[in-house]
């Protein structure tokens, strides 16, 4: 097998190969680097060994022998992740994945961060690895808001102390906004808002307060809301809305291309790599919709506005058996 000579890393022309693969919507930069190390990527007919390589539009890139798809317009999708799915393209344990459950007419997508197996709610999906990377960064500062049901008792004063952050087993967690919404039997319902999204952060912080989380639903990520999106459903954010919510600075930092055409050929290919069979979908989870509940109306974050293309407001209040309010089905149109 031929090996391609490496270009010097100080080459000012073009972009790093992993970044180009990521922007094509095939994988994150980290995944692309793993593919390169495994000998799955070739440039101009020769397999490369290192991601320390700059390429230009004149170079021919192939992954697993298939030409790299032409980069299309940066797109963002809202997905209502059900419980019981892992946020990965393939799972060594054979568990069902979100990419196996998504409709097959979508382009290749990657997730903006992850939700745990038993966490449900809003997950952002994009075809642009550069955008995913920027939106995941704690420095971006986008608030992630959750609806939480937990076993035990806690006071609002104890929750207020989380505003200064907390250290658990040597790990430091930044400022947290937490509100005690109500008590229900032996459980409490909370609204929990964080900006970093570290691994199992909500569960670990609440465990430190003597609470055991038994239901966790993400209801918003930055300006994007779960709203009326039904369990397992996907909805694309319209390009004008995406442009408005990103703003020029974030769009430039991500290298987002909001002017390119949509590559319909990508929509006819399976998204992700080796997806598992889809899992059965469950009913819609609870979501806070009262004015002021969850903090959306009390203190709106920069860029957190009405989503004209996402139908995320004015939810009818209903109750499920767990006692939490849940969204109604989307209105036609």
**DSSP states along 123-176:** EEEES-HHHHHHHH-GGG---EEEEEEEES---HHHHHGGGG-EEETTEEE---
Rounded Cα distance, 18 and 28, in Å: 8
Q: How far apart are CA 84 and CA 87, in angstroms?
A: 10
Q: Which residues contact 175 (CB under 8 A, 6 or more apart)?
A: 162, 163, 164, 165, 195
- Coil, strand or helix: which one is 267? helix
SS3 content of the chain, % helix, strand, coil (to 5): 20, 25, 55
Beta bridge partners, 184, equal 187
Bridge-based pairing state of the strands 171-173 and 177-184: unpaired
- Among 11, 91, 116, 160, the active-site one is 116
Enumerate residues 6+ apart whose C-beta is below 8 A from 111.
87, 98, 123, 124, 125, 132
216 CB neighbour count, 10 Å cutoff: 24
Is 116 catalytic? The answer is yes
Could you tell me how far CA 4 lies from the centroid of its own chain?
35
Element (H, E) at 36: helix 29-37
Distance, CA of 294 to CA of 133 (rounded, Å): 26
The Cα angle at residue 310 between residues 23 and 317, in degrees rounded to 5: 140
CA distance 103 to 74: 19
Known catalytic residues? Answer: 116
């Amino acid at each position: 097998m031929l090996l391609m000579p490496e270009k010097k890393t100080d080459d000012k022309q073009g972009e790093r190969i992993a970044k180009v693969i990521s922007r094509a919507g095939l994988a994150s930069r980290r995944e692309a680097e793993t593919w390169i190390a495994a000998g799955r990527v070739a440039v101009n007919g020769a397999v490369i060994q290192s991601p320390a390589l700059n390429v230009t539009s004149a170079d021919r890139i192939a992954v697993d022998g298939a030409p790299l798809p032409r980069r299309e317009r940066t797109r963002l999708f809202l997905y209502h992740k059900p419980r019981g799915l892992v946020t990965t393209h393939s799972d060594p344990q054979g568990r069902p994945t979100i990419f196996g459950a998504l409709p097959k007419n979508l382009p290749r997508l990657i997730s903006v961060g992850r939700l745990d197996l038993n966490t449900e709610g809003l997950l952002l999906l994009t075809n642009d690895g550069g955008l995913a990377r920027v939106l995941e960064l704690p420095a971006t500062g986008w608030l992630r808001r959750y609806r939480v049901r937990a076993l035990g008792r806690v006071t609002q004063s104890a929750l207020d102390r989380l505003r200064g952050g907390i250290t658990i087993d040597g790990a430091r967690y930044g400022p947290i906004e937490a509100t005690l919404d109500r008590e229900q039997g032996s459980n409490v319902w909370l609204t929990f808002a964080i900006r970093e999204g570290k691994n199992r952060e909500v569960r670990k912080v609440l465990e430190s307060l003597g609470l055991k989380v038994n239901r966790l639903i993400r209801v918003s990520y930055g300006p994007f809301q779960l709203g009326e999106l039904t369990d397992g459903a996907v909805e694309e954010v319209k390009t004008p809305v995406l442009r408005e919510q990103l703003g020029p600075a974030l769009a430039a930092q991500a290298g987002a291309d909001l002017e390119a055409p949509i590559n319909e050929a990508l929509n006819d290919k399976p998204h992700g790599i080796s997806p598992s069979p889809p899992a059965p979908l469950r009913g819609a989870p609870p979501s806070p919709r009262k004015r002021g509940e969850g903090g959306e109306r009390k203190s709106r974050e920069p860029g957190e506005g009405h989503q004209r293309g996402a139908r995320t407001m004015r939810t009818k209040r209903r109750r499920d058996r767990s006692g939490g309010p849940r969204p109604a089905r989307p209105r036609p149109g």
